[in-house]
Chain A
Amino acid sequence: MMAGHLLEVRGLSVDFHTAQGAVHAVRNVSWHLDRGETLAILGESGSGKSVSASAIMNLIDCPPGDIDSGEVLFEGRDVLKMSDEQRRQLNGKRIAMIFQDPLSHLNPVYTVGFQIMETMTTHGVSKADARARTLELMERVGIPDFGTKIDAYPHQFSGGQRQRLMIAMALALKPDILIADEPTTALDVTVQAQILALLEELQKETGMGLLLITHDLGVVAEVADRVVVMNSGEIVETGSAAEVYRNPHHPYTKKLISAVPGTGGMAASLGTGIRPLLDVQGISKRFGDFLALDEATFTVLPGETVAIVGESGSGKSTLAKALLRLIEPTSGAAFYDSRDLVTMPPKELFELRRDIQMVFQDPTQSLNPRMSVYQIVSEAFAIHRDILPKDRWQGRVRELLEQVGLDASHMRRYPHQFSGGQRQRIAIARALALEPKLIICDEAVSALDVSIQAQVIRLLRGLQERLHLSYLFIAHDLPLVRDFAHRVVVMQAGRIVEQGPVRQIFEAPQADYTRSLIAASLHPDPEVQAERRAVRELRREA
């Protein structure tokens, strides 16, 4: 019976029936997974990379979903032919799954202990045994103080701990297969490295097959044995992780690999002796007893990109808000054109806001869904009345949209009619409307796919050259920063731990924290990652 693979998907096609007609989510997809092996399914959003996993777990709602054809063989038996009850008994016990955003995937109103125990009690384990095993699992995945934390709720844990709890929940019954759908995407790099290491250890212990769904070539390079590359619902390439990276055959794979940031050249510093556009002097922000921002000091030159990097909670977004006076700084000064932003009266600040614009992380949320693109972009002229007479708004909006590479004839459309990358272009057009000198980009490309990310970065760079813009580029993604920034400011727990030209930060980092950040960020080349891993292990043994 066990002649075949542990799990094999054969010729799977899934359609989704929508109001606009049938959408082929995946077409004729085949792959297999063996015990102790890690298979990565790599693809961008909309590639259908998660669909086969959902089909395995019976998570596709039919209708609107429709499994058109294909087989999913688990130990040689087709799960698609099983009854719902038989499939339910596989879920959690033989095949388990963890997801991208652990906070929304944990039920907020039940204790984590209850939720981990439930995996076991659902499959017939007694409550007392389940509780004992839950404590064991929480200890194994590295939850400190697990004896009391078993009765805590999901919101009382950090992001990394929540993913550890999800892993504990998934592995409670020692499943044969673990499906991990973007398990580290929502996490900080250092936490990502820890979670991937934990998954690898647990795989070694239990011999389970690991199916990893990801958009991140770095993650593939770090853990995958084999990789399946998907685009528009079809598999375009399959092979060992190293082989696919070294020698991609399909044009899509080639494009994807070339779009990965962190491999291009680094920008040279701008000359010295230039008067800074923005001169931040010891700016601080305190919330009650909590010092969110501790005396940040740095400058931004005209035409320069300064990246602020740090993990969540490092104070980088607080810094941006303080500079825009969206929150009032507790102390310090920030000179823009030798005028202090911090003490500026509101009227002057209003005038100055023209010069400093912001682009936010999630364009879906930062664009008003009930305003057309024309309204969104021209709103700036409605607020700052003296810029442009009303009869010239349309022409200017047209110009701005063309400048960011959008079709100007789409200006009457609404944000939901655009893709994620296009929406971010709209947000950039809106920021450009007032002809600013400085744009603060708060994780402006983090929510985008790598190939779209590369396009938006190209756009930002082009605009900088043409309009001599300065960017304050807030990001957690080091490879991206490496390719884009002139200078880098590294923040940790509200403090600037290091700053300098991009080359210096990446080639000769001084602070321990910078070094650990760089070490934790993943390189898309499996061989480079293998070397780094070997070094890590040597260091651990020593």
Chain B
Amino acid sequence: MLSFLGKRAVASAISLIGLVILVFFLSRLTGDPTNLYLPVDASLESRERFREINGLNDPLIVQFFRYAGDLIRFDFGMSVRRGEPALDAVLRAFQWTLWLALITMTLVTVAAIVVGSLAAFRVGGIFDRIATFFSLIGASAPDFWIAIVAIVVFSVSLGWVPTSGTGTVWHWILPVSVLFIRPFGLILQVVRGSMISTLSSAYVKTARAKGVRNRPIIFVHALRNAMLPVITVIGDQAAGLLNGAVIVETIFGFPGVGKLMIDSILQRDFTVVLAAIFVTAVAIFLMNILIDIFYAVLDPRIRY
């Protein structure tokens, strides 16, 4: 297990280095950085001065190694617009996103597992039909539309919850609910499908022949076996949220990493964009390792 974790860490580190190289050179491909950072009408002298200060006159490869060297010390440079280290801005925003993702995915996972398992237990029953109907709608509805409708209905018309911002528990309700819908629909379908096949498996037949009650048959015997494909999808959906729920964060004015990235791109604050990409990439690598550990915990046949 430990050697597996080591290998995964090394593999992740290599991917991360690849990502840094890619992002650095891609950002340089977008043109002269002075065009990006400085106002359109900046004078030639100020452009030259900017190049001088930021070492943009050195060969690209030298610039890259300087950048990489800074990265190793977790120094992503200063945010030009914010006047603070880029990493600080990103980590602050990332906390919000992390909480949003964590709360949403926890609710999604619990709800999808319970509803999906019960739907699978009586396939074609009334509960199954209702669950399937709503999960399909949820999985296919565009979230920006739901977000706007939700604001119109619950904030503007009914006035139950604030339209945007943070501060109270009430501020979390709409973003979490809107983010909940799509992964819930999707994961519910995966749980249901996976549970249908495990519930008809031979070992469930054995459990019935032993006289095991329905509830342990569903939640002890079938569920743990059904979880492997489900975890893969949960990981995939969680990665989407960690990347920043860009649209939902923007609509609700939620100060997460998605909104930060959009703002920084619009403001050409590239140090922040690079830092945000780096931080979310690390988070996603960590989460994938976590998922592999989950696999091994759930299924004793998987040993690394």
What are the residues of chain A within 8 A of B203 when measuring CB–CB?
A: 104-108
Q: Tell me if A155 counts as interface (CB < 8 A to partner B).
A: yes
Inter-subunit contact A106/B206 (CB<8 Å)? yes
Q: Tell me if B83 counts as interface (CB < 8 A to partner A).
A: no
Q: Tell me if A504 counts as interface (CB < 8 A to partner B).
A: no
Interface string of A434-456 (1 = CB under 8 A from B): 00000000000000000000000
Inter-subunit contact B211/A88 (CB<8 Å)? yes
Could you say which of B205, B210, B224 contacts A122, with CB atoms under 8 Å apart?
B210
Q: Tell me if A119 counts as interface (CB < 8 A to partner B).
A: yes
Interface string of A86-99 (1 = CB under 8 A from B): 00111111001101
Instruction: Count B interface residues, CB 8 Å.
Output: 21
Inter-subunit contact B298/A123 (CB<8 Å)? no
Q: Tell me if B225 counts as interface (CB < 8 A to partner A).
A: yes
- Whole-angstrom distance between the alpha carbons of A300 and B212 in the complex? 55
- Whole-angstrom distance between the alpha carbons of A166 and B210 in the complex? 11
Q: Tell me if B73 counts as interface (CB < 8 A to partner A).
A: no
Inter-subunit contact A57/B209 (CB<8 Å)? yes
Which residue in chain B gives the minimum CB-CB distance to A152? B300
Inter-subunit contact A107/B211 (CB<8 Å)? no
Q: Tell me if A399 counts as interface (CB < 8 A to partner B).
A: no
Q: Tell me if A279 counts as interface (CB < 8 A to partner B).
A: no
Which residue in chain B gives the minimum CB-CB distance to A56? B209
Which residue in chain A gives the minimum CB-CB distance to B205? A59
A83 to chain B, nearest CB (A): 13
Within 8 A of A (CB), among B159-206: 201-203, 205-206
Inter-subunit contact B207/A107 (CB<8 Å)? yes
Q: Tell me if A311 counts as interface (CB < 8 A to partner B).
A: no
A108 to chain B, nearest CB (A): 6
Could you say which of A91, A123, A169, A170 contacts B208, with CB atoms under 8 Å apart?
A91
Inter-subunit contact A101/B205 (CB<8 Å)? no
- Whole-angstrom distance between the alpha carbons of A61 and B231 in the complex? 29
The answer to whether residues A108 and B209 also contact, given A99-B202, A101-B202 and a CB cut-off of 8 A, is no
Q: Tell me if A118 counts as interface (CB < 8 A to partner B).
A: yes
Could you say which of A93, A99, A109, A123 contacts B206, with CB atoms under 8 Å apart?
A99
What are the residues of chain B within 8 A of A297 when measuring CB–CB?
A: none
Inter-subunit contact A122/B300 (CB<8 Å)? no
What are the residues of chain A within 8 A of B211 when measuring CB–CB?
A: 88-93, 119, 122-123
Q: Tell me if A47 counts as interface (CB < 8 A to partner B).
A: no
Inter-subunit contact A57/B208 (CB<8 Å)? yes
Which residue in chain B gives the minimum CB-CB distance to A94? B211
Within 8 A of A (CB), among B254-304: 298-301
A105 to chain B, nearest CB (A): 4
- Whole-angstrom distance between the alpha carbons of A91 and B209 in the complex? 5
Inter-subunit contact A109/B210 (CB<8 Å)? no
Q: Tell me if A414 counts as interface (CB < 8 A to partner B).
A: no
Inter-subunit contact B202/A108 (CB<8 Å)? no
What are the residues of chain B within 8 A of A57 when measuring CB–CB?
A: 208-209
What are the residues of chain A within 8 A of B209 when measuring CB–CB?
A: 57, 59, 91-92, 96-97, 170
What are the residues of chain B within 8 A of A92 when measuring CB–CB?
A: 209-212
B22 to chain A, nearest CB (A): 39
What are the residues of chain B within 8 A of A110 when measuring CB–CB?
A: 220-221, 224
Inter-subunit contact A119/B202 (CB<8 Å)? no
Q: Tell me if A393 counts as interface (CB < 8 A to partner B).
A: no
Interface string of A106-127 (1 = CB under 8 A from B): 1111100000001100110000
Inter-subunit contact B206/A122 (CB<8 Å)? no
Which residue in chain A gives the minimum CB-CB distance to B124? A63
- Whole-angstrom distance between the alpha carbons of A95 and B114 in the complex? 32
What are the residues of chain B within 8 A of A91 when measuring CB–CB?
A: 208-211
- Whole-angstrom distance between the alpha carbons of A101 and B205 in the complex? 12
Q: Tell me if A343 counts as interface (CB < 8 A to partner B).
A: no
Interface string of A158-175 (1 = CB under 8 A from B): 000000001001100000
What are the residues of chain B within 8 A of A170 when measuring CB–CB?
A: 209
